[in-house]
Amino acid sequence: MAAAGWPLSAVTNLLPASLSLTLLFASLVIVLVLGAAASFFENIRAIGCVHLLERTAVSAAFFEDPNSLNKVPCPSIYDPAEKYISLIIPAYNEEHRLPEALTETLNYLKQRSSAEKSFTYEVLIVDDGSTDHTSKVAFEFVRRHKIDTVRVLLLGRNHGKGEAVRKGMLHSRGELLLMLDADGATKVTDLEKLEAKVHALAKKVEFSPAPSASSSQRLSDAEIAVFGSRAHLEKQALATRKWYRNFLMKGFHLVVLLTAGPGIKDTQCGFKMFTRAAARKLFTNIRLKRWCFDVELVYLCKHLRIQMDEVAVNWTEIPGSKVQMTSILHMVFELLLIKVGYGLGIWKIYS
């Protein structure tokens, strides 16, 4: 007899129906998972193809001189250094924050250049497809300080901070290359801390310059990366941020640790210095164009055996940040791209 008064035929009819629904649901889940995986791996493959094309393409980029109206060909990271230091500033819709930061930066560089004759410099502003008057503001500084000192590279459309930094690095002339944010959150004077660390590490790093190489050439040939860090400010930040922001940031830092490994506590600080040789290797290998290119730099440093270190810098919260809470999801996706792309050998590292 059927239990609980259910007819036997009803029970037998119910089982195949529920089993069919289970199989249908399972099949749908499998199709969705396989579709997502296929899309993810296609994304990785496409990024690799774009990178390969960018490595082999001949750059036709140039700087515009608003004073002479001439086009100045962009130098290459493969060329010998012509300046002691290049400052690369990625900028996207920064018409309001850029002027103050640029004025402070150029005043410092001019004063130091007057005191140290060997301190030659350039400032390269990379306009990442801004829709406001960022380029107009930047070109005004070119007019005042001349094309040899201040240069503007226009990307045309928005690619992301990582791509803006990459393009700036590849077209810079310095022995040392410093990336810094357009908002001036880190004081430009802190470059001396990173610079001192680079020189200290250069004395320890083994490399093989030509016998007749000068001290500046030897510095250019050393492969060193020094990262500005806000890790010493973490306790203060935890006390002022809302609990859910702290939770998300802690989770993000854990994923970063699993992706790039230990060594650098603050990967996201926008104040980083590279020797020319290190920049040449790193920025001809880098794939990510937006949020997590900083983490990729750490990953590449380890795999290319580039000496790296971290130096505490002063940092101030500047209103107008473009990082939203939803950006963390995009960041986690990019971290997964790093782990899978390099981990499975889909992305090759060229030394």
221/22: higher pLDDT = 221
pLDDT for 196: 97
Which residues contact residue 48 at a Cβ distance below 8 angstroms, ignoring those fewer than 6 apart?
287, 341, 346, 347, 348
Percent of the chain with pLDDT over 70: 83
pLDDT for 170: 96
pLDDT for 18: 67
Instruction: Over range 280-308, report the average pLDDT.
Output: 95
Q: Does pLDDT of 291 surpass 70? A: yes
Pick the range with the lowest mean pLDDT from 6-10, 141-145, 175-179. Answer: 6-10
Task: Encode pLDDT of 73-114 as tens digits.
Answer: 999 999 999 999 999 999 999 999 999 999 999 999 999 999
Task: Encode pLDDT of 27-50 as tens digits.
Answer: 888 888 888 888 878 888 888 888
Highest mean pLDDT of the ranges 4-8, 35-39, 164-168: 164-168
236/293: higher pLDDT = 293
pLDDT for 139: 96
Instruction: Over range 317-321, report the average pLDDT.
Output: 69
pLDDT for 5: 55
State the average pLDDT for the chain. Answer: 85
Instruction: Over range 144-159, report the average pLDDT.
Output: 95
Which residues contact residue 85 at a Cβ distance below 8 angstroms, ignoring those fewer than 6 apart?
119, 120, 121, 122, 174, 175, 176, 177, 178, 191, 195
pLDDT for 69: 84
pLDDT for 217: 57
